[in-house]
């Protein structure tokens, strides 16, 4: 699908209990709805005081999640002096009202609390913030803020830090996953400056470089064997993995079976598609037995191991974003980059991944595991997207509304007799 070519934005502005009307409409870079740095800049200019976006109120686009007409709620960090408070109409009041599932950082008080936590931790580390945090991203899955900081060494050098907020109800404690992998390969993971798992807050050192959305062969040959080596090492430490969210194949099968009862109300899947999914659920135990026979161990999964989460720079290559980390089958991580790679690049990645696992588990069959795991891969993402939908507020549902059905259709396409086969039945 071609991405939307524009994003037209309006912002409903508040400060505490006062409502100051709408700012805009104005144009920003098309971008994902969750990318709000440009929105913040323009809203701050129009309001005359610093402004931060709390959340999406409503959006309309032919490309869900991207471009179109987008409306946000923003909180002024100081009372605007150039704007007058005004009454709130009933429709806006309903959008601004409390709602179940609202993320902590999508509420003005929670947003301020998260930023205060980040500033306090940075001060305690001896590298206080030298300016206001810049808001980069906010949506139901996370908030991302960049702090300019002093190093605390007495030099003129400044190093940025990143505050990430996530929802602990359905996201992993990222600092713990990073620590497990970092014990094996410290350079593979970001540096954690502070963490508050109960509140879903993480403070990270800045990683200079670029995200590897289109990785070359050398990047794949670097990151994939290193990540596999860490996973293989952790597979031998079941005690260290015990606290991870369990998304092993058997658990995914159980959750998938439970999801089937919800499909008529939750998705636009046809009766025929639902019948075929029931057949897939019935066939999964035998497929999972064949997958287990491939010999790869259950271990820590990144959970979203696509190349956009690989970051490369002068210091080397780092894997970021562990909100989806869990205990599971490594073939699910191995398959994740496929949707982001050309067929040629995917064949190279799959070969590097399989060779790395054979080195660590002689006699295993990683290529066969990739083929067998493909339906499970899509089932796992259908369950993950449904998990998002079950825990977020109504105005945020457009981000993920059709995703479970899309992944379940992709799972059906992987099994014999449905058109596209991948060897998953071997």
Sign of the CA dihedral with 212 first, then 341, 219, and 298 last: positive
> Which pTM value belongs to this model?
0.92
214 in the same domain as 201: no
The DSSP call for residue 136 is E
- Reported as a single tens digit per residue, the pLDDT across 153-203 is 444 445 899 999 999 999 999 999 999 999 999 999 999 999 999 999 999
Give the domain extent around 391: 210-412
Q: Which single residue is written with the structure tokens 């070519």?
A: 5
Q: Average pLDDT, stretch 18-22? A: 97
Whether residue 422 has pLDDT greater than 50: no
Q: Average pLDDT, stretch 18-32? A: 94
CA–CA separation, 365 vs 420, rounded Å? 23
Helices marked H in 183-313 — which ranges? 217-235, 238-241, 249-260, 263-266, 271-292
Task: Report the Cα 186 to chain-centroid distance in Å.
Answer: 22
Whether residue 231 has pLDDT greater than 60: yes
Which band of pLDDT confidence, cut at 50, 70 and 90, is reported for residue 425? Answer: very low
Whether residue 424 has pLDDT greater than 90: no
- Reported as a single tens digit per residue, the pLDDT across 266-289 is 899 999 999 999 999 999 999 999
**Which DSSP helix (H) or strand (E) runs through 120?**
helix 108-124
Average pLDDT for the chain? 93
Let me know if residue 1 belongs to a domain.
no
- Reported as a single tens digit per residue, the pLDDT across 345-399 is 999 999 999 999 999 999 999 999 999 999 999 999 999 999 999 999 999 999 9
User: What's residue 4's pLDDT?
Assistant: 59
38 in the same domain as 80: yes
Which band of pLDDT confidence, cut at 50, 70 and 90, is reported for residue 63? Answer: confident
Q: Which single residue is written with the structure tokens 């980040």?
A: 118
325 in the same domain as 232: yes
- Reported as a single tens digit per residue, the pLDDT across 323-334 is 999 999 999 999
268 in the same domain as 149: no
Let me know if residue 56 belongs to a domain.
yes
The CATH number of the domain holding residue 321 is 3.90.1200.10
11, 39 in Cβ contact below 8 A? Answer: yes
CA–CA separation, 321 vs 25, rounded Å? 33
Query: Tokens standing for 309?
Result: 């989460």
280 in the same domain as 192: no
Which band of pLDDT confidence, cut at 50, 70 and 90, is reported for residue 6? Answer: confident
User: What's residue 30's pLDDT?
Assistant: 79
User: What's residue 416's pLDDT?
Assistant: 66
Query: Tokens standing for 153?
Result: 């060494």
Q: How many domains does the chain have?
A: 3
Which band of pLDDT confidence, cut at 50, 70 and 90, is reported for residue 410? Answer: very high
CA–CA separation, 371 vs 376, rounded Å? 10
Q: Residue 320: how many CA atoms within 13 Å on its side-chain side?
A: 25
38 in the same domain as 150: no
53 in the same domain as 24: yes
Q: Average pLDDT, stretch 114-129? A: 96
């Amino acid at each position: 699908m071609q991405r939307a070519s524009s994003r037209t934005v309006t912002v409903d502005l508040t400060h505490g209990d006062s409502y100051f009307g709408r700012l805009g409409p104005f144009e920003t870079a098309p971008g994902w709805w969750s990318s709000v740095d440009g929105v913040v800049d323009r809203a701050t200019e129009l309001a005359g005081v610093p402004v931060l976006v709390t959340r999406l109120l409503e959006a309309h686009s032919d490309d869900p999640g991207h471009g179109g007409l987008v409306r946000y709620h923003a909180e002024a960090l100081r009372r605007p002096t150039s704007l007058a408070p005004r009454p709130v109409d009933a429709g806006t009041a309903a959008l601004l009202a409390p709602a179940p599932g609202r993320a902590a950082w999508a509420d003005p008080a929670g947003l301020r609390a998260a930023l205060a936590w980040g500033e306090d931790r940075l001060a305690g580390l001896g590298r206080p913030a030298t300016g206001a945090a810049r808001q980069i991203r906010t949506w139901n899955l996370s908030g991302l803020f960049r702090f300019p900081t002093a190093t605390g060494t007495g030099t003129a050098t400044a190093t940025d830090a990143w505050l990430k907020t996530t929802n602990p109800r359905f996201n992993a404690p990222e600092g713990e996953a990073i620590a497990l992998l970092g014990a094996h390969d410290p350079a593979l993971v970001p540096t954690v400056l502070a963490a508050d798992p109960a509140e879903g807050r993480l403070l990270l050192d800045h990683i200079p470089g670029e995200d590897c959305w289109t990785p070359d062969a050398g990047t794949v040959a670097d990151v994939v064997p290193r990540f596999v080596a860490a996973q293989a090492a952790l597979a031998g430490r079941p005690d260290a993995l015990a606290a991870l969210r369990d998304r092993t194949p058997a658990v995914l099968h159980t959750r998938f079976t439970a999801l089937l009862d919800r499909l008529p109300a939750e998705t636009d899947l046809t009766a025929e598609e639902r019948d075929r999914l029931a057949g897939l659920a019935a066939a999964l135990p035998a497929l999972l037995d064949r997958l287990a026979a491939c010999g790869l161990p259950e271990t820590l999964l990144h959970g979203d191991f696509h190349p956009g989460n690989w970051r490369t720079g002068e210091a080397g290559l780092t894997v970021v974003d562990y909100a989806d980390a869990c205990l599971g089958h490594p073939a699910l991580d191995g398959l994740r980059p496929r949707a982001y790679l050309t067929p040629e690049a995917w064949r190279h990645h799959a070969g590097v991944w399989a060779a790395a696992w054979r080195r660590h588990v002689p006699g295993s069959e990683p290529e066969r595991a990739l083929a067998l795991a493909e339906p499970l891969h899509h089932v796992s993402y259908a369950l993950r997207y449904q998990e998002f939908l079950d825990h977020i507020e109504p105005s945020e549902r457009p981000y993920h509304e059709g995703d479970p059905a899309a992944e379940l259709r992709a799972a059906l396409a992987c099994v014999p007799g449905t058109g596209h086969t991948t060897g998953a039945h071997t």
